[in-house]
Chains A and B, each alone.
Chain A
């Protein structure tokens, strides 16, 4: 007691006198003895006093292995990770100080767990009698989903509330600690936290199953994710998606992406999204590693992905890792769900527009599983009830999407996965032209773990994107077909060695484009126009190393070497150099036969991502990437129409080259309840394509005469503040950014706006979003979203005249005007099923109100000649009123 009092006194005084080194004596013991005994013996022989609480040091002993070491070194070794430190004072006193927080924390965790009725399991590893204080023990294990039996990735493993490890993609974790008592816990969003009162005295395994919770009031957030993610990276939580307002009852992944800072869209009726001033074609959307070209149903009203089939979504808008390539602006990496290995489950949903069903279960228990989902629309009445100037009485929208994933485990280390995804649409606005886009993405993937630090996979895939535009009208009936086929092969490997995590691989895709076959579909029509097929091979090799230089600094450096071959057969037209590139100025042509290389491009794409952790709750990140994009989406409409064309690079269309730097600062507050960040970026893209005035893009054999290349510059600052825990969660984000273009050719017709800089179609300087979710109870939520963005640029006619009876407008310079600003509020009430763990059906109702205050946001401005010489400008609003909807979904 006396010693303890003294200790406190010294601490209060805070004196620290540097004296001769008392601890440089060498240890000399004949046999192991308890540490206190040894220290007291030292006091006898030397002029030194040790101050300590006996019970702290009693578990430790000094052994003969310490002989020859200085006392300082020996004590450091023995007490490592014990929480006990020692300090020298007054030249003769050694004071042992123990940080009491560890124990207190353990007690409080236990208390909290008890109060919140978390089940706390007790586990003892090793024999308590073999307890050796200070002994280092290894704990490892596998974390699996209780229902499906699938290994779970990114589960956070905590010892006494301190994050110490997370699971890899095989569900495995491993950690080393000092033997003793701990509270071990496993957490993952939307899963019931597993808490174990662990006494560990020897190396051992703790394997756990996590149970998905229907509702978690205080959702467990992947801890400090905002701090540990790469720059520009975000993980989308499927629960957020399931508890958000919907448009006509359809949960929408892409609309969720559009709420991310730096992401915009031109309208509801626009497929895809624009990332940091990039075009819609600059997003690499991967579904189980296969690129998907069309991400939407019905003009962009809905996403082409069924949220029930999705396991995980990663989104990169800056600092893009080297394993991804081929698109200049962003990567949306979607992983589909794997089937359950133990018993059958299902889920379904019934909405106004569509219904969906998903089934998951074992084909052979514990070794083979299947996950299948299907969604289909069933009604046109809603669309046909839309009142508009476009006569929609004959409009029709039909779509479906389906996915299936089959998994076979051969051994614990080898797994084969077959995945297929398909989506299909058929829609028409009037009773004439029907658009039928289709997607197919299928793959076969073999995963193998060579050892715990070396694993890899090989994937063969086949993708297809096509559309048919069909005109049924007698006499001019035609079908316009467009198709891209892209079989691909890729190898990916991952090696860990000390502080290095090295990924490397190779990838090759063979594209075959059918740029348009126009054929008469009835005897009476005589149209026939076939564009020749085009072939191209795109290949890449990549390597990257994530190196943890220190606790604070992580650098991931890598590179991708990409190659592109435009393959025959084909014709390259040569144009008169002294004249504008027009069909009439063709002077020669070169014909290539099958297998010839018509044009080759290659390039090195350096990638860099850095994270410097300032302290427990703040970090600075930096990213740089260069990416070559060899395919270009060719369009002359503001939003992407279903008849747009993907043009492969050739003699005239050089690959786009994007360079982006981004820098960000991240800070969490209030014990990670609030996450904030500011990220800035600057991006240059060379060889972007823009269309010439009045150019015809479909079925044009000389597209190089219709398009001109320029470059784009975008820059911006993204601010985000989020409250991620508690009854009320929400995010506020604001982005200021510009997206500018310059197209300055040699001839007047090859310049846009006389070669001056102009806004791109999606230059929307101010974008703000607010989302929130308030939990009335564990089952009742009120969620909402407010979005605002500057109206997109447009070109408007400013005056008119008639020449020879033909009305002609005089347009402003391209994109000189803007349509009115866009803003919209959506709210939803979500009622989830009761939380009994065992029940037949777990149902959820979502009542959603889209566009709550009925704003008529402009989709476009257009003008019409009334035939009597008067021209009037109109604003078309696609959604002109509040749209309520109700959806019921269930799980079993």
Chain B
């Protein structure tokens, strides 16, 4: 027996590891289909419809292949219609003084592609948007996780109370929000290095020039010191029964605004749009929301097949997207810097023109500011 005895000298090194690898799906044949993204509201026109092709995995969704030369028509239940003009590749618009959305009217989108295929949306009624009764916020310390889950951040939580006009018992809303903040820069303090020293070199738009002896002299108002940047919420947000109280929605969470020095130079303006949408559009956004909610879940909820409200007139071609007919109302709220219960540390002094700080920053002051 002895010769068979086995002696294990085992040094146990635990190198347990789970891992995530890229998975190559390129072998799957992917057929791209037409995508329709359109909206008509009770706001004054023009209204826009975009046509493009869906992207395969690994393609850039931000730069899809637009579909040009289509005949895009919006018509209403009175038989009036307007053919949209192609403002740029794949982007079709009504005329400024063309068809206007009205509460109580029904609207339908018709598309004819150059290859002869045609698509349409259902004839949906534009319903009254109801009211946003209140848009309010609460400061909550350590309440969101940014990039590092170990470092929670303080934030303003923005909620909404809303009511419909009671015209029917379906509460089909979609909310979208945008946030605007001011960017303040000091382009007059711009310097360049010459040898071992810095010399002032203000941007011309700062309104300053350098005089002899490196003295700054203001000659006109600065045109690039104050900018405004608007961010758009990227979440599908729809009405759900869990917030329903006696026919009204209460404390619907809209967004969480992190307390960042960058966006609280002055204050942060949140504007919410309440859109009363049709059942077909609601079902689309409901699935989109379910898909978004499942992202990053280790338990991996199974897939959702998201079908829009556009269909092929022949009934055979697959098509994605949605044409929303929506009554819309808006409300905004200012999150002031003084609402933060502590003083924010001053940030770095930026000496470049404000519009170069963030993509899409504009020097045009918004009307609500």
- Bound-state CA distance A269–B18 (Å) is 12
- Bound-state CA distance A878–B20 (Å) is 8
A880–B235 CB distance below 8 A: no
- Bound-state CA distance A496–B73 (Å) is 84
Q: Which residues of B contact A392 (CB under 8 A)?
A: 18
Q: Which residues of B contact A812 (CB under 8 A)?
A: 303
- Bound-state CA distance A280–B265 (Å) is 55
For window 408-466 of chain A, which residues contact chain B by CB distance below 8 Å?
429-432
- Bound-state CA distance A780–B15 (Å) is 26
Q: Which residues of B contact A639 (CB under 8 A)?
A: 299-300
- With A761-B302, A814-B305, A873-B23 as known contacts, state yes or no: A430 contacts B149, CB within 8 Å: yes
A393–B35 CB distance below 8 A: no
- With A641-B299, A811-B303, A885-B12 as known contacts, state yes or no: A872 contacts B57, CB within 8 Å: yes
Most buried by A among B1, B16, B61: B16
In the complex, what's the smallest C-beta–C-beta distance from B176 to chain A, in angstroms? 7
Q: Which residues of B contact A313 (CB under 8 A)?
A: none
Q: Which residues of A contact B283 (CB under 8 A)?
A: 749
- Bound-state CA distance A430–B304 (Å) is 26
Q: Which of B76-84, B100-108, B286-294 contacts A (4 or more CB under 8 A)?
A: B286-294
For window 665-709 of chain A, which residues contact chain B by CB distance below 8 Å?
691, 693-696, 699, 701
* CB-contact partner of A777 in B1, B21, B302, under 8 A: B1
B6–A811 CB distance below 8 A: no
B170–A584 CB distance below 8 A: yes
Interface flag for B17 (CB, 8 Å): yes
Q: Would you give the 0/1 interface string for A789-814, flagging 1 where the beta carbon is closer than 8 Å to chain B?
A: 00000111111111111111111111
Q: Which residues of B contact A829 (CB under 8 A)?
A: 6, 8
* CB-contact partner of A795 in B13, B62, B303, under 8 A: B303
Q: Which residues of B contact A489 (CB under 8 A)?
A: none
Q: Would you give the 0/1 interface string for B9-36, flagging 1 where the beta carbon is closer than 8 Å to chain A?
A: 0101111111111111100101111010
Interface flag for B142 (CB, 8 Å): yes
Interface flag for B136 (CB, 8 Å): no
Closest residue to A817 on the B side, CB-wise? B28
- Bound-state CA distance A205–B31 (Å) is 81
Closest residue to A867 on the B side, CB-wise? B234
Q: Which residues of B contact A882 (CB under 8 A)?
A: 15
A-B contact count (CB 8 A): 251
- With A801-B61, A803-B321, A870-B60 as known contacts, state yes or no: A387 contacts B18, CB within 8 Å: yes
Q: Which residues of A contact B236 (CB under 8 A)?
A: 806
For window 737-778 of chain A, which residues contact chain B by CB distance below 8 Å?
749, 761, 776-778
- Bound-state CA distance A27–B226 (Å) is 131
- With A806-B292, A884-B12 as known contacts, state yes or no: A877 contacts B20, CB within 8 Å: yes
For window 111-139 of chain A, which residues contact chain B by CB distance below 8 Å?
none
Q: Which residues of A contact B302 (CB under 8 A)?
A: 636-638, 691, 761, 794-795, 814
* CB-contact partner of A880 in B5, B19, B143, under 8 A: B19
In the complex, what's the smallest C-beta–C-beta distance from A693 to chain B, in angstroms? 4
In the complex, what's the smallest C-beta–C-beta distance from B183 to chain A, in angstroms? 21
- Bound-state CA distance A755–B152 (Å) is 46
A811–B23 CB distance below 8 A: no
- With A431-B150, A696-B290 as known contacts, state yes or no: A382 contacts B16, CB within 8 Å: yes
Interface flag for B345 (CB, 8 Å): no
- With A780-B6, A805-B232, A806-B234 as known contacts, state yes or no: A884 contacts B13, CB within 8 Å: yes
Q: Which residues of B contact A588 (CB under 8 A)?
A: none
Q: Which residues of B contact A636 (CB under 8 A)?
A: 301-302
Interface flag for B312 (CB, 8 Å): no
In the complex, what's the smallest C-beta–C-beta distance from A326 to chain B, in angstroms? 26
In the complex, what's the smallest C-beta–C-beta distance from A887 to chain B, in angstroms? 11
- With A636-B302, A694-B287, A869-B63 as known contacts, state yes or no: A875 contacts B16, CB within 8 Å: no
A807–B61 CB distance below 8 A: yes
Q: Which of B48-56, B113-121, B213-221, B336-344 contacts A (4 or more CB under 8 A)?
A: B48-56
Residues of B in contact (CB 8 Å), total: 87
* CB-contact partner of B54 in A431, A475, A800, A872, under 8 A: A800
A637–B320 CB distance below 8 A: no
Interface flag for A868 (CB, 8 Å): yes
A389–B20 CB distance below 8 A: yes
In the complex, what's the smallest C-beta–C-beta distance from A272 to chain B, in angstroms? 14
Interface flag for B306 (CB, 8 Å): yes
* CB-contact partner of A801 in B52, B176, B241, B296, under 8 A: B52
Q: Would you give the 0/1 interface string for B306-341, flagging 1 where the beta carbon is closer than 8 Å to chain A?
A: 101000000000001110000000000000000000
A801–B60 CB distance below 8 A: no
Interface flag for B157 (CB, 8 Å): yes
- Bound-state CA distance A345–B56 (Å) is 65
- Bound-state CA distance A598–B4 (Å) is 70
B170–A431 CB distance below 8 A: no
- Bound-state CA distance A749–B287 (Å) is 12
B306–A881 CB distance below 8 A: no
A847–B25 CB distance below 8 A: no
* CB-contact partner of B300 in A691, A778, A806, A860, under 8 A: A860
Q: Which residues of A contact B234 (CB under 8 A)?
A: 805-807
A874–B23 CB distance below 8 A: yes
* CB-contact partner of B58 in A847, A861, A871, under 8 A: A871
- Bound-state CA distance A388–B62 (Å) is 29
- Bound-state CA distance A31–B42 (Å) is 124
- Bound-state CA distance A372–B126 (Å) is 69
For window 95-152 of chain B, which residues contact chain A by CB distance below 8 Å?
138, 140-143, 145, 149-150, 152
Interface flag for B347 (CB, 8 Å): no
* CB-contact partner of B19 in A529, A691, A877, under 8 A: A877
* CB-contact partner of A803 in B30, B37, B58, under 8 A: B37
Interface flag for B64 (CB, 8 Å): yes
Top 3 nearest A-B pairs by Cβ distance?
A869-B62, A795-B303, A694-B290
Question: 30 A-B pairs, CB-CB below 8 angstroms?
Answer: A388-B17, A391-B149, A391-B150, A473-B143, A475-B138, A529-B242, A584-B169, A637-B299, A691-B302, A694-B304, A696-B290, A749-B283, A776-B4, A780-B6, A796-B303, A801-B54, A801-B55, A806-B236, A813-B305, A829-B6, A847-B10, A861-B23, A865-B61, A868-B62, A869-B63, A874-B23, A876-B19, A879-B18, A883-B15, A884-B10
- Known contacts A800-B57, A877-B20, A880-B19; can you find 17 more A-B pairs with CB under 8 A? A269-B298, A388-B17, A583-B241, A584-B279, A636-B302, A637-B301, A695-B290, A796-B303, A797-B57, A800-B56, A806-B234, A806-B235, A808-B320, A811-B304, A814-B303, A831-B8, A876-B20
User: Using a CB–CB distance below 8 Å, which chain B residues touch chain A?
Assistant: 1, 4-6, 8, 10, 12-25, 28, 30-33, 35, 37, 39, 52, 54-64, 138, 140-143, 145, 149-150, 152, 157, 169-170, 172, 176, 232, 234-236, 241-242, 251, 279, 283-284, 286-292, 295-306, 308, 320-322
User: Using a CB–CB distance below 8 Å, which chain A residues touch chain B?
Assistant: 248, 269, 352, 382, 385-394, 429-432, 473-476, 524, 526, 529, 583-584, 636-639, 641, 691, 693-696, 699, 701, 749, 761, 776-778, 780, 794-814, 817, 829, 831, 845, 847, 856, 858, 860-865, 868-886
